[in-house]
Structure 1
Amino acid sequence: MSVLIKGGTVVTAEQMVRADVLCENGKIKAVGENLSAPAGAQVVDAGGQYVMPGGIDPHTHMQLPFMGTVASEDFFTGTAAGLAGGTTMIIDFVIPSPNTSLMSAYKEWMGWAEKSCADYSFHVAVTWWSDQVYEDMGTLAREHGVNSFKHFMAYKNAIMVPDENLVKSFSRCLELGAIPTVHAENGELVFHLQNELVKKGLTGPEAHPMSRPPEVEGEAANRAIRVAQVIGNPLYIVHNSCREAVEAITRARNEGQRVYGEVLAGHLLIDDSVYRNPDWNFAAAHVMSPPFRPKENQEILWRALQSGMLQTTATDHCCFCADQKAMGRDNFTKIPNGTGGVEDRMSVIWHHGVGTGRLTPMEFVKVTSANAAQIFNIYPRKGSVSVGADADLVVWDPKASRTISAKTHHQKVDFNIFEGMTVTGVNTVTIAAGKVVYEKGALKVEKGAGKYVDRPCFPPVFEAVKKRNDIRQPRAVPRKAAQ
């Protein structure tokens, strides 16, 4: 079936232009003025609205086994909620337990994801090291379209990667043309601070941000950047939340280093006062890592997004309901870390970004889809409105409003961190793989309709990086000559 979107203004990362968009067989077939609808085509009226690439959330955790429980959102409910908010693709994380084969974990996650109703891809975490991990990384990169590997610098005694393994994995990424990504928090310091706070009797959610101050994030971000600099990798740092991390990225980029930064919608809008709320359930619902920060960090994050020092927006969507959060009622270190947001990211960033003049509509497309597509090598298949691209699109009404609430959202969690926020700028229609899957407030999704998206590695670019590094290396001076 064909879908013709008529009367809208197409917004891409490059331009805004009045045009119709014709979709056939899951692809964009034509973009231009006064296109005619083929026989039997569904016509979508976009008059007075924008037509933009569907959002790409590059950081989600659906169905994640974590901290003694499993995230409440599975791949079907999570991708459906994303579609309801205009996000048409997620990049989730395969996180093997230590001493577990990366390939076996990848296959397990792929099985869980078969029920997705929107397209998906995977970053794969390196949580331990062996010759088998080295081989599995090569198999994933060359045969399964995985071009990014995640490294947790936090969560000591669980999935934290020591510096030795960070160096080994970064080096393997360089060989493969894959991008290393990091969760930047100094896990040793976090572990120390957690123990000290519990000893002092500080066991509630208010102690969570005290155990993970901005300095532990800034130190880890800078350490990862320097490791990448020496080895020659580009680097992607997830969920930057504070001035210290932004300063490390800004310095590196100003020195010519290829470092990419992600910011969560929640960190742009919510501050650490939530942890001091007298309602334990409310405070615990906001426990995530890195935690929400003092309010002054929000302006720093917005400015970094505006200036291009941070390139992507995400959610770290990892949902746990109240009964799961209650596992840590007597000890904040046992509260499962995670919040939601995959349904609301697009609207809250439009409202607080475009609606305030911080971002233009074209910049909005960049930070919600196009930049992620380019960084992870799926552009222009994703993140664009161009002939031959996947027909993943949103029809966006910049004047329409909605009020966010857990009572009405599609996310499978009993709390919403944006509860009560009224946003102006919402998707009225979402199209995924050329089919209308959300319209007039109603989801029309099909379990299993989502497809896995291969993300090729970058050998030519990385070869150039390695050559440049070789040129920069100082030549060894023979001992006799030195004498």
Structure 2
Amino acid sequence: MSTTLITGGTVVSATGRTQADVLVDGETIVALIQPGAIPFGPIAPDRTIDATGKYVVPGGVDAHTHMEMPFGGTFASDTFETGTRAAAWGGTTTIVDFVVQYPEQNVLDQYHLWHEKAAGNCAIDYGFHQILSDVQDSSLTAMDELISEGVTSFKLFMAYKGVFLSDDGQILRAFQKGSENGAMMMMHAENGAVIDVLVQQAIAAGKTTPYWHGITRPWQAEEEATHRAIMLADLTGAPLYVVHVSAKQAVEQIATARDRGLNVFGETCPQYLYLSLEEQLAAVSERWGTLEGAKWVCSTPLRSRAEGHQNAMWQSLRTNDIQMVSTDHCPFCMKDQKELGRNDFSKIPNGIGSVENRLDLMYQGVVTGEITLERWVEITSTTPARMFGMYGKKGVIAPGADADIVVYDPSGHTSIGMGPGRTAHHMNMDYSAWEGFEIDGHVDLVMSRGAVVVDDSGYVGRKGHGQYVARGLSQYLS
């Protein structure tokens, strides 16, 4: 096996930073050594990477993606090939994608289908969560079987009637099984029945532009559903992970539950830290007109900046009331996909593409003083790995870990978008949700299990390099 020595950099972990050289043998980190020490005696490493003046951090772990997801009569525009390649460009070296199960579909059949989609196509490593819609006896049996396959987390929905929604009785049964077998139970927490009525009323009143997507999914629907999910978790003893938290009131419910000692966790996404309902309202372009706001239609929706949700989300990351940042990467093109809702916002496929931008966007929070450098590593890599049973191999630069490493240049610059003077993104989308964002930092080099997949020449990885990660139980519970 070949050896690589990364020299001169500052190794950053969730707990601190140190000047150290990193020695990689094959796919594995074997040592952190004193800068300038010669670990080989007279034998030089096969390759030396100069990281002087740069940060050396563990590869990003994005624990919430939807590659090739069927939704709203179409499919997410990124395949496992294009989506994982884009992730690599942005310094993410592991994703955890969601296996989709619609009512009447067999859970295990869908799991095997997702393996067929991903195997041999991914540029980086990948794992799976399992979505459960109609919870039947067979679903509960499948949960036990999937845990033995390394799928140790299961997502349910309180919204999308007839598509994903599970009633409280079904959620209760799934949570009881999660309490029994140690699975992490994940929840899309929005009151779907309330949302459905508000959507119908808005459409009937002629309020059809993308802005109304957020208005008809109010924070009260998110807070109520978050509270209900917490109560069901408390009743059953199941651990609960609330996905894509966007409302400050939902954070308060999670914080209260954690203060009571419950195993309740939450994630947020970059869009809830940076984007707002007001900007969506103002979005009109020559090309797309009032449909421009469809770029930012996602669920949970963007929230009002005037109400202080964005500042509250940053604060929740500082206080650890929210533990990590994922993307909920579910990209759709404007042409032929988002434009399905040109005259009816309820027909716009819900999703934003961010898998390539997450590390950069969160690093900008370091630059502006919202989070520390160590917290950046923690919320984008270390905590996701711990939360979903991968830590030790993923999420850390330490002997024995996979050599998933990012060399990040704080003196570099990244202009996000597709316009003039910008480097077009590599996600399979015809627009950028982050057009015009400027990042005071740059991903210079990315290693996935010891193989350089991105360097100063561009993408040098390959389709099929990524391997399936069979995950253990959450390391926050063991």
TM-score normalised according to structure 1 size? 0.93
- Residue pairs, 1:77-88, within 5 angstroms: 77-88=82-93
Per-residue deviation, residues 55-87 of structure 1 (Å, max 9, x unmatched): 011111011111100111011111111111111
Matched, 1:121 2:127: yes
State the shift of 1:358 in Å: 2.1
- Assess, with a 3 A threshold, how the Cα gap between structure 1 residues 250 and 402 changes in structure 2: closer, same or farther: same
Q: Which residue of 2 aligns with 1:283?
A: 293
State the shift of 1:378 in Å: 1.0
8 Å Cα contact 1:428/1:441 also seen in 2: no
Gaps of 5+ in 2: none
State the shift of 1:360 in Å: 1.5
With 59-68 and 266-275 compared, the bigger mean Cα shift is at 266-275
- Residue pairs, 1:247-396, within 5 angstroms: 247-276=252-281, 277-278=283-284, 279-295=289-305, 296-323=308-335, 324-351=337-364, 353-396=365-408
Per-residue deviation, residues 102-129 of structure 1 (Å, max 9, x unmatched): 1100111111111011001111011112
8 Å Cα contact 1:396/1:428 also seen in 2: yes
- Residue pairs, 1:27-106, within 5 angstroms: 27-33=28-34, 34-36=37-39, 39=44, 41-106=46-111
CA distance in 2, matches of 1:315, 1:455: 20
Give the secondary-structure state (helix, strand or coil) at the position aligned to 2:165: coil
CA distance in 2, matches of 1:35, 1:82: 34
What is the letter of the counterpart of residue 77 of structure 2? S
8 Å Cα contact 1:185/1:219 also seen in 2: yes
- Assess, with a 3 A threshold, how the Cα gap between structure 1 residues 441 and 153 changes in structure 2: closer, same or farther: farther
**What is the identity percentage for the equivalent residue pairs of Structure 1 and Structure 2?**
38
State the shift of 1:329 in Å: 1.2
State the shift of 1:25 in Å: 1.9
State the shift of 1:461 in Å: 4.9
Give the secondary-structure state (helix, strand or coil) at the position aligned to 2:390: coil
State the shift of 1:8 in Å: 0.6
CA distance in 1, matches of 2:454, 2:475: 38
Give the secondary-structure state (helix, strand or coil) at the position aligned to 2:412: strand
CA distance in 2, matches of 1:280, 1:318: 22
- Assess, with a 3 A threshold, how the Cα gap between structure 1 residues 460 and 74 changes in structure 2: closer, same or farther: closer
Q: Which residue of 2 aligns with 1:425?
A: 441
- Assess, with a 3 A threshold, how the Cα gap between structure 1 residues 460 and 268 changes in structure 2: closer, same or farther: closer
CA distance in 2, matches of 1:459, 1:208: 37
Length, aligned pairs only:
460
Q: Which residue of 2 aligns with 1:134?
A: 140
8 Å Cα contact 1:89/1:118 also seen in 2: yes
Gaps of 5+ in 1: 463-483
With 40-49 and 171-180 compared, the bigger mean Cα shift is at 40-49
Per-residue deviation, residues 290-330 of structure 1 (Å, max 9, x unmatched): 11111111000000000111111011111110121111112
Give the secondary-structure state (helix, strand or coil) at the position aligned to 2:411: strand
The counterpart of 1:202, out of the listed 203, 207, 215, is 207
8 Å Cα contact 2:389/2:475 also seen in 1: no
TM-score normalised according to structure 2 size? 0.94
Per-residue deviation, residues 432-479 of structure 1 (Å, max 9, x unmatched): 0101110115001110110111112369957xxxxxxxxxxxxxxxxx
State the shift of 1:3 in Å: 1.8
CA distance in 2, matches of 1:28, 1:35: 16
- Assess, with a 3 A threshold, how the Cα gap between structure 1 residues 95 and 227 changes in structure 2: closer, same or farther: same
CA distance in 1, matches of 2:369, 2:332: 34
State the shift of 1:30 in Å: 1.2
Per-residue deviation, residues 130-189 of structure 1 (Å, max 9, x unmatched): 2211111111012x1011000111111211111111000011111111000001101111
Matched, 1:447 2:463: yes
CA distance in 1, matches of 2:49, 2:291: 43
8 Å Cα contact 2:388/2:475 also seen in 1: no
- Assess, with a 3 A threshold, how the Cα gap between structure 1 residues 374 and 332 changes in structure 2: closer, same or farther: same
Give the secondary-structure state (helix, strand or coil) at the position aligned to 2:368: coil
Q: Which residue of 2 aligns with 1:237?
A: 242
8 Å Cα contact 2:333/2:430 also seen in 1: yes
CA distance in 2, matches of 1:209, 1:90: 27
Higher share of residues assigned helix: 1
Q: What is the aligned-residue RMSD (CA, Å)?
A: 1.5
State the shift of 1:266 in Å: 1.1
CA distance in 2, matches of 1:135, 1:100: 14
State the shift of 1:2 in Å: 2.1
Q: Which residue of 2 aligns with 1:473?
A: none
8 Å Cα contact 2:386/2:476 also seen in 1: no
Q: Which residue of 2 aligns with 1:401?
A: 413
- Assess, with a 3 A threshold, how the Cα gap between structure 1 residues 35 and 221 changes in structure 2: closer, same or farther: farther
CA distance in 1, matches of 2:115, 2:224: 34
